[in-house]
């Protein structure tokens, strides 16, 4: 099929798509889709994050949405690649991008289609994404003048901005809890859309959410996939960013984007008033008096997948006379006078801390509570190889990642990748198994890619610790052999004792629902349900999307997820502020049931 024929076939598909929806013609619409077919929407059609599996479900959904959100003015996208074929042989498909409008917004439609015998396109998967709102008026670059109107003679720009950031005579439209990457990027987009936004962070400095983590922490994915919107990383930044460099970057980003951030400020809780449509948010600066704010929206951007540390009840641990800490408290081996250490858990944090302790001369034993998926970090990053291709723009990789999260497609791709990764890393995995490390395949053989979305834990992407385990320099012991902790360590069922001066609980984090209940009460937590766990449709529950609590939103995840997710989240908040979301498309209070309930990292 020539490029010209692909172009004509794509244009014909979209023409029939638009007219069939307008006419509510289910037969013509169904003829455009293969069976099975899938639809995923990020805000453009549902004002939410939803996905639908099966041709009948897709057709029924599109027709049900036609009155409120009918796609119109559909056309081949101007700023995306022209229709073309991706893949080879039986795996080949046509990829096409279309711009479209709805009653209140503008979106992009990504089509993955196969050709029938008549060379007509049959949609296998469709991804629609909100790109803009018709109510947004973006200011021209470099507004004329000096950037502010003085409140008194001689007022400087800094005096004016500092006074405005105190919000003494007004309330922000949005309060974002957290000034890490998710919180700052959310605020940057909201400001771009003309929304008044305030970030609140409990740490004394922007970036401390990274600065205060354990010293050996580096990102395990390459710099190319961690790009921030509006401000690219400088070219001298290394492939794997150390945590201190990320901390510095966040501080720089907040200042560059001119964001309003209150550091050293605790968020004490919030209560929503259905009549006024506003929150009463209680905050307190360190050493200061409590203050109330009344935003219309609150965004919790205080974590990726997990909430509060998960502290298991371990037999006899109260009798241990050494130091006990959760991995979130760990800094570096030099800070502890330890000769022998026990780490409970074998996922990412456990491996990183074990290596740091070993390099500090500490004898380390890891207690394994469940099977772990292990891959070399370079093998793992093959899953994100497109981010490393300089000829593929990051925004194109991001939107392809979006269609790839359609759950049945994601699961199949994860299984294929994990099988390949196991074969590539077999020499290492065999050596690890010989040292007693129990290796797993994740859920239904989907490996670490799937575990990241389910729990954020249960895997390790090797950056050097695996070789230490394989060489016997870091020891592995199975948790089911633990009898009890004793004063000087852990006694096993055979009576032997693993001596220790310190026990580190690399046992992961609770669901973010727990922090929600602490801050807003059990009723709000039940209205929202689980957070950052796969829901019934395969979406990441309640992250970036509407929630069952009006005016409450969540952000988190990896930077490549957070980047496009933050833009959609900000657009949805702006849409709500402008009264664009109809009641029929508002999410009702509910409890999202996760597909898998293992706690992050602690599962291993």
How many alpha carbons fall within 13 Å on the CB side of residue 69?
25
Write down the pLDDT at residue 496: 97
Whether 598 has a pLDDT exceeding 60, the answer reads no
Based on the domain organization, do 387 and 450 belong to the same domain?
yes
Based on the domain organization, do 243 and 257 belong to the same domain?
yes
Among 34, 101, 37, CA closest to 74: 101
Based on the domain organization, do 291 and 409 belong to the same domain?
no
**Predicted TM-score of the model (pTM):** 0.91
Based on the domain organization, do 286 and 345 belong to the same domain?
no
Count of other CB atoms within 10 angstroms of residue 385: 12
Based on the domain organization, do 393 and 258 belong to the same domain?
no
Domain boundary among 118, 133, 148: 133
Based on the domain organization, do 207 and 119 belong to the same domain?
no
Residue 152 covered by a domain: no
Based on the domain organization, do 469 and 412 belong to the same domain?
yes
The pair of three-digit structure tokens given for residue 216, joined into one six-digit string: 């050996």
Residue 427 covered by a domain: yes
Ramachandran assignment for 461, one of left (phi > 0), alpha (psi -120 to 50 degrees), beta (any other):
beta
Based on the domain organization, do 470 and 514 belong to the same domain?
no
pLDDT band at 597 (very low <50, low <70, confident <90, very high): very low
Q: How far apart are CA 229 and CA 237, in angstroms?
A: 16
Taking residues 41-62, what's their average pLDDT?
A: 97
Whether 172 has a pLDDT exceeding 80, the answer reads yes
Domain boundary among 507, 523, 540: 507
Per-residue model confidence as pLDDT tens digits over 196-244: 999 999 999 999 999 988 888 888 888 999 999 999 999 999 999 999 9
Which stretches within 361-393 are classed as H helix?
Answer: 377-380
Q: Which CATH number does the domain housing residue 545 bear?
A: 3.50.50.60
pLDDT band at 304 (very low <50, low <70, confident <90, very high): low
Longest Cα–Cα distance of the chain, Å, equals 81
Q: How far apart are CA 176 and CA 170, in angstroms?
A: 16
Residue 143 covered by a domain: no
Ramachandran assignment for 97, one of left (phi > 0), alpha (psi -120 to 50 degrees), beta (any other):
beta
pLDDT band at 594 (very low <50, low <70, confident <90, very high): very low
Based on the domain organization, do 263 and 392 belong to the same domain?
no
Domain boundary among 472, 507, 542: 507
Q: Which CATH number does the domain housing residue 57 bear?
A: 3.10.450.50
Whether 592 has a pLDDT exceeding 80, the answer reads no
Based on the domain organization, do 264 and 292 belong to the same domain?
yes
Write down the pLDDT at residue 2: 81
pLDDT band at 591 (very low <50, low <70, confident <90, very high): low
Residue 599 covered by a domain: no
Based on the domain organization, do 230 and 281 belong to the same domain?
yes
Domain that holds residue 87: 3-133
Q: How far apart are CA 207 and CA 252, in angstroms?
A: 9
Residue 326 covered by a domain: yes
pLDDT band at 68 (very low <50, low <70, confident <90, very high): confident
Write down the pLDDT at residue 297: 98
CA 320 to chain centre: 37
Write down the pLDDT at residue 593: 47
DSSP code, position 242: B
Residue with tokens 């289910």: 26
Say what percent of the chain tops pLDDT 90. 82
Residue 426 covered by a domain: yes
Residue 600 covered by a domain: no
Number of domains within the chain:
3
Residue 383 covered by a domain: yes
Based on the domain organization, do 369 and 500 belong to the same domain?
yes
């Amino acid at each position: 099929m020539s490029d010209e024929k692909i172009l004509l076939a794509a244009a014909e598909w979209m023409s029939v798509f638009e007219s069939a929806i307008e006419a509510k013609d289910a037969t013509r619409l169904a003829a455009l889709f293969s069976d099975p077919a899938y639809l995923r929407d990020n805000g453009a059609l549902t004002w939410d994050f939803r996905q639908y599996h099966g041709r009948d479900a897709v057709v029924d959904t599109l027709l049900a949405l036609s009155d409120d959100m009918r796609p119109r003015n559909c056309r081949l996208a101007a700023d995306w690649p022209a229709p073309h074929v991706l893949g080879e042989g039986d795996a080949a498909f046509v990829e096409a991008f279309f711009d479209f409008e709805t009653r209140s917004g503008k979106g992009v439609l990504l089509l993955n289609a196969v050709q029938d015998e008549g060379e007509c396109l049959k949609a296998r998967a469709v991804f629609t994404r909100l790109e803009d709102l018709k109510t947004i008026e973006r200011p021209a670059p470099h507004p004329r003048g000096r950037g502010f109107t003085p409140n008194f003679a001689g007022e400087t720009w800094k005096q004016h901005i500092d006074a405005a950031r105190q919000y003494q005579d007004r309330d922000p439209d949005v309060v974002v809890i957290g000034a890490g990457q998710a919180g700052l990027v959310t605020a940057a987009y909201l400001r771009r859309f003309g929304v008044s936004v305030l970030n609140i962070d409990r740490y004394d400095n922007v970036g401390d959410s990274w600065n205060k983590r354990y010293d050996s922490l580096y990102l395990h994915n390459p710099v190319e996939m961690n790009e921030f919107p509006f401000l690219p990383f400088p070219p001298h930044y290394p492939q794997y960013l150390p945590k201190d460099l990320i901390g510095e970057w966040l501080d720089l980003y907040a200042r560059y984007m001119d964001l309003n951030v209150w550091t050293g400020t605790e968020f004490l809780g919030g209560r929503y008033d259905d009549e006024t449509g506003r929150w009463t948010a209680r905050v307190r600066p360190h050493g200061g008096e409590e203050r109330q704010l009344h935003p219309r929206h609150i965004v919790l951007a205080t974590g990726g997948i997990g909430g509060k540390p998960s502290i298991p009840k371990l037999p006899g641990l109260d009798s241990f006379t050494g130091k006990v800490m959760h991995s979130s408290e760990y800094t570096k081996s030099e800070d502890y006078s330890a000769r022998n250490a026990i780490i409970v858990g074998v996922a990412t944090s456990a491996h990183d801390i074990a290596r740091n302790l070993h390099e500090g001369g500490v004898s380390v034993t890891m207690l394994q509570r469940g099977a772990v998926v292990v891959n070399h970090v370079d093998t793992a990053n093959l899953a994100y190889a497109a981010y490393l291709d300089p000829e593929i723009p990051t925004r194109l990789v991001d939107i392809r990642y979006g269609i790839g999260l359609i759950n049945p497609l994601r699961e199949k791709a994860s299984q294929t990748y994990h099988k390949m990764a196991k074969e590539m890393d077999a020499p290492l995995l065999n050596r690890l198994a010989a040292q007693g490390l129990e290796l797993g395949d994740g859920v239904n053989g989907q490996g670490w890619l799937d575990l990241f979305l389910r729990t954020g834990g249960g895997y390790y992407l090797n950056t050097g610790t695996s070789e230490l385990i394989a060489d016997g320099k870091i020891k592995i012991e199975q948790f089911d052999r633990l009898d009890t902790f004793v004063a000087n360590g852990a006694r096993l069922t055979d009576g032997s004792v693993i001596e220790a001066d310190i026990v580190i609980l690399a046992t992961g984090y609770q669901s973010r629902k727990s922090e929600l209940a602490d801050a807003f009460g059990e009723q709000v937590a039940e209205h929202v349900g689980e957070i950052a766990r796969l829901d019934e449709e395969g979406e990441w529950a309640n992250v970036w999307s509407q929630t069952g609590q009006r005016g409450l939103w969540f952000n988190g995840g990896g930077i490549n997820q957070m980047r496009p997710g933050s833009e959609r989240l900000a657009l949805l908040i702006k849409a709500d502020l402008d009264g664009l979301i109809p009641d029929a498309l508002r999410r009702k209070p509910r409890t999202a049931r996760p597909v898998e309930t293992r706690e992050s990292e602690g599962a291993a």
